[in-house]
Amino acid sequence: MIFIGSDHGGLELKNEVLQYIKNELKEEIIDKGCYSKDSVDYPDIAKDVCSDVLKNNAIGILICGTGIGISIAANKIDGIRCALCSEEYSASMAKRHNNANVLALGGRTIGAELAKSIVKSFLQSQFEGGRHEKRVNKIMDLQK
C-alpha cells in the first residue's frame, strides 16, 4: 500500500503521480490531500502520510514545491526515513541501502515524466539488508 500527499505547491505533480501509480503500476494508493490549490501547511501533510506509513508498514510519497520542507518535516517523525530524490539512481539507492519508507519530490523542480520514472525506480527497488542493516539501525538510533 502507498500513501501520497502534497501541499498546494505539489498538487499538480501529486495528481500526475497518483494516476500513474494507479493506472500504470497497478498499485493500491491512498490520497491524503491536499485536494485544491488553497494554501496548506506541508508539515500537516507529512504528519498525516507518515502516520499511515507507520501504522500500515507501507510506503509514502510526499510532494511540496521543492520537496525540501516536506522531507525535513517527515524525517522528524520517529520511524520515518524520507529521501528527497530528483533522479532515478538516488531513488533506487534510498530504498536499497537506506531502506527509505517515504519518497519526497519537488512539484516545482521536476517534471511529471521524470517524477514517474523516479517513483517507479523507488517502488521497484528492495532493501538489500546485510551491511546496510547496521547503518540503518544506527540512523534509527539517532532518534532516541
The pLDDT value recorded for residue 104 is 99
Question: Would you please indicate which residues are annotated as catalytic (active-site) residues?
Answer: 64, 97
What residues of the chain score a pLDDT lower than 70?
Answer: none
List the grid coordinates of 96. 536499497
The pLDDT value recorded for residue 143 is 83
Domains of the chain with bracketed CATH: 2-141 (3.40.1400.10)
63-73 per-position pLDDT tens digit: 999 999 999 99
> Cell 519508507 appears where?
101
The β-bridge relationship of strands 29-31 and 82-84 is: unpaired
The pLDDT value recorded for residue 50 is 98
The pLDDT value recorded for residue 144 is 76
pTM above 0.85, yes or no: yes
Q: In the chain, at which residue ranges do the beta strands (DSSP E only) sit?
A: 2-6, 29-31, 59-64, 82-84, 102-106
The pLDDT value recorded for residue 83 is 98
